[in-house]
Amino acid sequence: MKLNRLSNNFDEASASYDQHASVQKKTSEHLAYLCSSLPEKPKKILDIGCGTGFTTLALQKYYRNATYTLCDLSKNMILSAKNKIPNQIYIVGDAENYTFNDTYDLGISNLALQWFENIESFLSGILLQCKYFAFSIPIEGSFAAYKNLFAEKNIPILAHHYWNIDALLALAKKQGDVIRSDFKRYDLFFENALGAAKHFKSIGAQGMTTPQNKIKIAARLLANPVEINLNYDIFFTVLWKK
């Protein structure tokens, strides 16, 4: 059920994604930059949670002649990526549970692993198939002002778990040798919480579940004319398989 909801959300957002996913584009570019000087030039690259292709496009600036395999849960996101980046390999599927029948010099995932049920298990498995694996992920503290607005009224919002940076770094070191890591904050400002909610929907990341008895409260909170800062706190790392 969760996977169906996620794929539907991203399918619906595919047409608006490029226009509104400014942070996702910036994090793709930074993650690609962190991978730009690997000890060995990758020839086969796997892009997990590829969306509309931001990360592959960013990597192609450094590794133009590599062969890319792009995987995403959303068929519409894949179609958008295909239109931008023809002549590559495309997979529509749940990467966390998908069996990749190949090995890769580099695996990469930009702002996708937060949707996975078990990041530790996934990393352990993917590093058997990728010599290097790089990822970015929101960490604890992201979207604090927005979440607090609803938490004070006991209205569930963006309910999935965000790791703290120390735990993520420890997890990364457990799975492989950390050859690069970084942290960046990206801020988006909206006139009110409704603008922030529309932003999440436009990129497929809507996550509010409003109890029936609090729908009116939620509506007032969304319309309240108070500027909201969406802070994306992002951890980046590049791992080498031990």
53 belongs to a structural domain:
yes
227 belongs to a structural domain:
no
218 against 103, higher pLDDT: 103
125 belongs to a structural domain:
yes
64 belongs to a structural domain:
yes
Q: Give the residue-averaged pLDDT of 213-241.
A: 89
Which SS3 state, helix, strand or coil, does residue 86 take? Answer: coil
What is the Cα–Cα distance from 62 to 191, expressed in whole angstroms?
38
Supply the mean pLDDT for the chain. Answer: 92
pLDDT per position as a tens digit, 188-214: 999 998 898 899 999 998 776 677 777
pLDDT per position as a tens digit, 110-159: 999 999 999 999 999 999 999 999 999 999 999 999 888 888 888 877 65
41 belongs to a structural domain:
yes
pLDDT per position as a tens digit, 157-167: 765 679 999 99
115 belongs to a structural domain:
yes
- Provide the number of structural domains found in the chain: 1
In the predicted model, is pLDDT for residue 85 greater than 90? yes
pLDDT classification of 106: cutoffs 50, 70, 90: very high
147's CB contacts (< 8 A; 6+ apart) are 157, 158
Range of the domain at 25: 2-140+161-187+233-241
pTM of the model: 0.94
Question: How big is the CA angle at 9 (ends 202 and 219), to the nearest 5 degrees?
Answer: 65
pLDDT per position as a tens digit, 167-176: 999 999 999 9
192 belongs to a structural domain:
no
Q: In what order do the strands lie in the sheet with 104-110?
A: 89-92, 67-72, 44-48, 104-110, 130-138, 228-241, 176-190
224 belongs to a structural domain:
no
For residue 8, the domain's CATH number is 3.40.50.150
What is the Cα–Cα distance from 39 to 81, expressed in whole angstroms?
28
